[in-house]
Copies of this chain bind each other. A is one copy, B any other.
Amino acid sequence: MDIYFAGSIRGGQSDVELYAELIELLNEYGTVLTEHVGTETVQEEETQAGMTDHDIHEQDLAWLRQADAVVAEVSTPSLGVGYELGRAVELGTPIHCLYRPEAEHDLSAMIRGCDDIEVTEYDQPTELSETLAEFLEAAESA
């Protein structure tokens, strides 16, 4: 199955190592289309590849449309992640958000209050294996 992982890039990359751990975990269940989100140098690499913001948008939207499931780390506020979640809701793709309660910012009511989005609070990625396995199995049979 194809998994779209969403995490903050321009909104702040302080959680990038955590994203890499989550992507590694998700790779056990399927193909993560957006592995670059777990790389600190993602922006430089996109610039070096000559990608404009329009190219990035089109590539990410194509992956979002292709994905069987969306997993987002939402502890860092991010316009891009929020935008992807809004588009994914309209596409009807199963969505699971991961949030660390000790984060600086409270989670948006638009995410926590959305019936089409599951939210799990956690401290360490190691706690998430069972939750993600259950979510992805349900998404695969949806």
Contacts and interface: CB of A to CB of B under 8 A. Distances in A.
Interface residues of A, number: 41
A48 interface: no
A107 interface: yes
A110 interface: yes
Contacts of A10: 77, 105-109
A44 interface: no
Given A10-B108, A85-B86, A86-B84, A113 B54 contact: yes
Interface string A2-21: 00000011111000000000
Interface in A94-136: 105-115
A80 B58 contact: no
Contact of A109 (B57, B89, B109, B114): B57
Contacts of A78: 77, 79, 82, 108
A107 B79 contact: yes
B82 A81 contact: yes
A43 to B, nearest CB: 8
A108 B37 CA distance: 13
Contacts of A76: 77
